């Protein structure tokens, strides 16, 4: 068979271990971490899904090596903890039995101990230790590690690495980037020591090298050791790429794979985990430059989800391995689809941060486009229904499409009807905003999957109770979505007003001076886009803050883009009237002000199509309402509800 992406699909051998391809699953924290740090069964299933999907390696993250100085609520591997070794063994086996190589990330948070605790207040009660004494930006005192403590931590890395090998892991990744302890020693931003662990580059690398030597002694010669570093810290007081190259040369003799990431978790989160506002592969240049200075294989990552781009990275010699994290949540089968030349079926990551926000909020996982994530133990196979039925889906947005796709995979006869001449629902509007291209692209992918599964799609077809009766449907899934909220404000129906949902159709109406009326997520993202186009943008919001409906990971990055691209923000301003020259508002102080602009984008929210839902509730024996039709919410809920509605038929 001729592979479409031969370089991505080619095996690679590291320290005598052969990995089946160059697409590796990057470290992602699990879900059911026990109180004593064991890998719970939900987490094992979480990692296993990427192994089933064809990844060359799957890295379990993060195993903290020294609980005495790092109280982070993450994994621990310690024979003194009941079930610790057993849980690690089950996780490694779950990965290995699908042909992927299990790897365990060994880490220490240093001065950021307790970062992963759901209750952040407890973090401040922990003893914090780093290379140098300091006060963290949040006011927490950090103590300087003594030589004796350093030696004990080094020994901890070796001990845990040996246990990882005993548990069946076939590689370890030493986390030396992103502002954790090894990075804190490497970085002049954190390390102000004057002894043999500070000052010169050689001294700052000493701790990392001692760790790597201890790990090698524990695991032996034919066992891959991977070191993850930040190629550059991307902040003025951190180290730059030139020093990143010299760090790589210092550690090269002790490793088998150099994993080049970027930034620090605390100060450059949107670079370490590239947001939708960044180019895909924006950090690859770091690995490409470092690779010129070392002889060991180099891995890269950073918002990668396009096989063509990843193939070029390997083929051109920028890196030897590509890592993906969020892309393999959106589609765990991405590597398998690549190797089987089915790349047109890949469900692309939206870079919406739903996955990371959910973990921060509830210590679970969700993915906006994949309902299995975090719920793998509920079942990852779609089994045939015992009784085949005729299923009608009303609405061709993401929830309706995924419901239809799932129902068809169960063997039902499925007809999806869309009232308009194009599928996508509210996602159609995303085609006009380049940094949200994956959201628009999602419709085409879901449509392709649905048609391949056997779904009949009827456009320009409205579903009524009479239509359902005529089709004699056994089941009806109502996914008719929502409609823009346009309150009776004088002038809001004027010719100078464009409803945000319709912006993609009416771009030519938008002048260079714009008022975005509504500072929720949709309004803020539209304002950023218009600012990127060079327009003067004023953003008006009645509430005291912008984008409260954005998740906790995306919102800070969105606000930074607003600071860069929006001319002025007007919070606490209630719109009274839309005029040809702007929006007349009332401030919280009762003052009337005119926010200037010759075009007004109405982004005041959505409302469910309850009238359509009410008319269809009794149209079939089985009826389920999903997505915005049930409650104005997110793609995540629409897809998740649609998937389970189909499973219930």
CA distances (Å), origin 476, targets 254, 407, 471, 636: 61, 11, 11, 21
What would the pLDDT profile of 88-118 be if each residue is shown by its tens digit?
A: 999 999 999 999 999 999 999 999 987 766 6
Q: CA–CA separation, 489 vs 510, rounded Å?
A: 20
Q: Copy the structure tokens of residue 356.
A: 């990371």
Same domain, 74 and 218: yes
Q: How many domains does the chain have?
A: 3
> What are the DSSP calls for 100-151, one per residue?
PEEEEEEE--GGGTTTT-SSHHHHTTS-EEESS-EE-TTS-EEEEPPHHHHH
What stretches of 182-278 adopt beta strand conformation (E)? 225-230, 257-261
Site of tokens 């992963």 = 116
Residue 585: the pLDDT is 98
**pTM of the complete model:** 0.95
**Domain CATH for 593:** 3.50.50.60
The pLDDT of residue 346 is: 98
Is 106 in the same domain as 218? yes
Name the residue range of residue 631's domain.
382-483+608-647
Q: Specify whether 203 is located in the same domain as 278.
A: yes
- Asked if 575 and 427 sit in the same domain, the reply is no
Q: How far apart are CA 473 and CA 620, in angstroms?
A: 6
Q: Is the pLDDT of residue 35 over 90?
A: no
Q: Are 518 and 636 in contact (CB under 8 A)?
A: no
Assess if residue 113 is contained within a domain. yes
The answer on 624 and 598 residing in a single domain is no
Mean pLDDT of 138-156: 95
Residues 411 and 459: their CA atoms lie apart, in Å, by 22
CA distance 46 to 55: 13
Residues 201 and 87 in one domain: yes
618 and 584 share one domain: no
Helix pair 284-291, 241-251: axis angle to 10 deg: 50
* In a domain? residue 348: yes
Helix, strand, coil percentages for the chain (3-state, nearest 5): 35, 20, 40
Whether residue 371 is contained in a domain is answered as: no
Within this chain, do residues 24 and 74 fall inside the same structural domain, yes or no? yes
- Burial of 606-624, coded b for 16+ CB within 10 Å and e otherwise, reads bebbeebbeebeebbeebb
Pair (586, 627) in one structural domain:
no
Torsion angle in degrees (nearest 10) through CA of 616, 617, 619, 625: 80
Please check whether residues 461 and 547 belong to one and the same domain: no
pLDDT tens by residue, 456-491? 999 999 999 999 999 999 999 999 999 999 999 999
**What is the structure's pLDDT at 362?**
86
Q: Kindly list the distances between the CA atom of residue 462 and the CA atoms of 339, 392, 468, 629, in Å, as whole numbers in the listed order.
A: 40, 12, 10, 15
Domain end, chosen from 311, 336, 352, is at: 352
253-299 tens-digit pLDDT: 999 999 999 998 778 888 999 999 999 999 999 999 999 999 999 99
CA 188/CA 192 separation, integer angstroms? 7
What pLDDT score does 73 carry? 76
């Amino acid at each position: 068979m001729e592979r479409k992406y031969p370089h991505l699909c080619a095996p690679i051998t590291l320290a005598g271990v052969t990995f089946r391809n160059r697409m590796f699953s990057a470290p992602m924290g699990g879900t059911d971490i026990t109180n004593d740090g064991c890998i719970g069964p939900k987490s094992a299933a979480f990692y296993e899904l990427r192994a089933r999907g064809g990844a060359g390696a799957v890295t379990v993250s993060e195993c903290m090596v020294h609980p005495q100085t790092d109280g982070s609520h993450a994994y621990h591997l310690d024979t003194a903890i009941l079930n610790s070794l057993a849980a690690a063994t089950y996780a490694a086996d779950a990965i290995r039995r699908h042909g992927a190589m299990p790897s365990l990330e060994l880490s220490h948070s240093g001065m950021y101990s307790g970062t992963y605790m759901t209750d952040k207040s407890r973090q401040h009660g922990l003893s914090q230790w780093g290379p140098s004494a300091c006060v963290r930006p949040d006011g927490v005192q950090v103590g300087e590690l003594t030589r004796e403590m350093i030696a004990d931590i080094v020994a901890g890395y070796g001990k845990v690495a040996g246990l990882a090998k005993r548990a069946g892991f076939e590689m370890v990744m030493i986390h030396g980037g992103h502002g954790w302890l090894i990075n804190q020693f490497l970085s002049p931003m954190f390390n102000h020591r004057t002894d043999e662990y500070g000052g010169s580059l050689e001294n700052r690398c000493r701790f990392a090298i001692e760790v790597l030597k201890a790990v090698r002694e524990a695991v032996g010669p034919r066992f891959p050791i991977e070191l993850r570093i930040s190629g550059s810290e991307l902040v003025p007081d951190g180290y730059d790429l030139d020093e990143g190259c010299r760090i790589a040369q210092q550690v090269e003799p002790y490793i088998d794979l150099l994993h080049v990431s970027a930034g620090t978790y605390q100060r450059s989160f949107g670079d370490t985990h590239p947001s939708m506002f960044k180019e895909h592969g924006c950090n690859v240049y770091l690995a490409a430059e470092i690779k010129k200075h070392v002889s060991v294989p180099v891995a890269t990552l950073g918002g990668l989800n396009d096989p063509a781009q990843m193939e070029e990275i390997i083929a051109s010699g920028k890196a030897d391995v590509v890592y993906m994290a969020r892309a393999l949540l959106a589609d765990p089968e991405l590597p398998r689809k690549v190797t089987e030349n089915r790349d047109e079926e890949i469900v692309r990551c939206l870079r919406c941060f739903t996955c990371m926000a959910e973990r921060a909020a509830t210590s679970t996982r969700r993915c906006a486009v994949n309902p299995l994530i975090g719920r793998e133990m509920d079942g990852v196979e779609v089994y045939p229904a015992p009784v085949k039925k005729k299923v009608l889906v009303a609405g061709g947005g993401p929830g309706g499409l995924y419901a239809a796709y799932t129902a068809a995979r169960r063997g039902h006869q499925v007809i999806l009807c869309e009232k308009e001449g194009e599928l996508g629902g509210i996602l159609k509007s995303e085609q006009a905003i380049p940094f949200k291209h994956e959201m628009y692209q999602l419709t085409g992918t879901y449509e392709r999957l649905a048609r391949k599964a056997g779904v009949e799609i009827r456009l320009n077809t409205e579903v009524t109770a009479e239509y359902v009766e005529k089709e004699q449907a056994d089941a009806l899934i109502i996914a008719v979505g929502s409609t823009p909220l346009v309150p009776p404000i004088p002038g809001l129906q004027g010719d100078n007003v464009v409803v945000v949902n319709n912006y993609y159709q009416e771009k030519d109406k938008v002048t260079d001076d714009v008022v975005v009326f509504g500072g929720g997520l949709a309004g803020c993202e539209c304002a950023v886009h218009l600012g990127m186009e060079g327009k003067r943008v004023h953003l008006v919001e009645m509430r005291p803050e912008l984008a409260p409906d954005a998740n906790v990971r995306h919102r800070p990055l969105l606000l930074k883009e607003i600071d860069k691209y929006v001319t002025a923000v007007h919070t606490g301003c209630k719109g009274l009237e839309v005029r040809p020259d702007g929006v007349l508002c009332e401030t919280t102080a009762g003052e009337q002000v005119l926010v200037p602009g010759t075009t007004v984008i109405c982004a005041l929210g959505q409302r469910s199509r309850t009238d359509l839902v009410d008319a269809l509730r009794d149209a079939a024996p089985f009826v389920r309402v999903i997505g915005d039709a049930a409650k104005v919410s997110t793609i995540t809920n629409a897809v998740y509800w649609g998937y389970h509605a189909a499973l219930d038929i």
